[in-house]
Amino acid sequence: MAKRKTSPHDHLVRHTLAIPENAAVVLQSVLPPKLLSRLDLTTLRREPGTFVDASDEARTDLLFSVRLDGRQVLLYLLIEHQSRPDPSMPLRMYVYFGRVWSALWGDGRREPLPIIVPVVLHHGPEGWTAPRSLGAMLDWADWDPGARALVARWVPDFELLIDDLARVPETALLARAGAPLGRVVVWVLRATRVGFGPTLLSRWARELDAAEASGAREAFLHVVQYLVGTDEGSALVEALEATLSGRVREVVMGLQKRWLDQGREEGREEGRKKGRAEILLKQLRLRFGRVPRATERRVRAASDAELERWAERVLSDGSLDDVLG
């Protein structure tokens, strides 16, 4: 599939919930207890591939395999980043199922295709109000029960398992079993979209301590990068600041300084590029007279390589079109 765009949410999720022990914090909370009791979560393993639409920044998908009674099952975890639930999600999930199975079949597999369990992690502020099953999207409204029964066996249907973070109290997130980093990531996703309770900040600060001490250093740094590098995350860091331990505060301050230095360097580079564009425009005006507004916009939006190439041509090529050709 084509390469996906990457949003801050996508970056956070792919570097944290892609780790099985962190994803297990979500899966253990949304999968039915009777199913969980028959899954061996010690076998939970990330499988390669992404199956969402290539241009979609609103959601991230992760595919895991796990053993159920000795056989392989796929758990398809889709993280919904939109502020509103997607009413087409069951249909989208049906398409994603097809892509997963097609990829497996295309790899030369000729054994039975694995069962896929669809899980959606949603952190929109209003909660999930869209259809939860493919059947709910189908035109059954005017069908009498007898007619529906006649065709139902040939009509696909399934239900989404939805971890709807807007409906989950923060105290319940704190009580979730599993890796502290997994709890922190889910809380950050919830807190930046749904909100957070100030009275629980000290407890979340202790969770950050536990996550930092867990040894998953790289994944922890991705959480802090999200917190200091986005507007929503920065507000959360500001609220947490008084309760952070010295170790975590040091990491936060280090990354804040890095972001600030990077911003300054990007600003300097942008200034240099803007200056080069203005110098080139002056040269074009001196040689060719009036420069069309469309050409001015093109020069100001040009890459460094284009500006360098055009600057070399401006003294020798015959026309404005030749210079910018």
Per-residue pLDDT averaged across 220-240, rounded?
85
Q: What pLDDT is recorded for position 92? A: 94
The angle formed by the CA atoms of residues 158, 162 and 163, to the nearest 5 degrees, is 160
Q: What is the pLDDT of residue 296?
A: 85
The pTM for the full model equals: 0.76
Rounded CA-CA distance 78/122 in Å is 8
What is the pLDDT, as a whole number, of residue 125? Answer: 87
> Nearest 5°: CA angle at 262, between 237 and 215?
55
CA distance 56 to 95: 14
DSSP symbol at 152: G
Q: 162 forms bridges with which residues in the sheet? A: 120
Rounded to an integer, what distance in angstroms lies between the CA atom of residue 198 and that of residue 280? 54
Residue 234: how many other CB atoms lie within 10 Å: 16
Of the pLDDT bands very low, low, confident and very high (cuts 50, 70, 90), residue 132 is: very high
Residue 167: CB atoms within 10 Å:
12
Which ranges of 78-122 would DSSP assign to H, the alpha helix?
89-106
* pLDDT above 70 coverage of the chain, percent: 93
Provide the CB-side half-sphere exposure for 46 (13 A, CA): 15
* Tens digit of each residue's pLDDT (9 = 90 or more) over 48-70: 999 998 777 788 999 999 999 98
Mean pLDDT along residues 85-104: 93
Of the pLDDT bands very low, low, confident and very high (cuts 50, 70, 90), residue 6 is low
Q: Give dist(CA 223, CA 229) in Å, integer.
A: 10
Per residue in 150-170, pLDDT (tens digit) is 999 999 999 999 999 999 999
For residue 137, what is the DSSP state?
G
The answer, yes or no, to whether residue 74 has pLDDT greater than 80, is yes
Burial label, 187 (beta-carbon count in 10 A; 0-12, 13-18, 19+): buried
Cα-trace Rg, the chain:
26
Average pLDDT score over residue span 198-220: 91
pLDDT tens-digit profile of 98-114?
A: 999 999 888 777 788 89
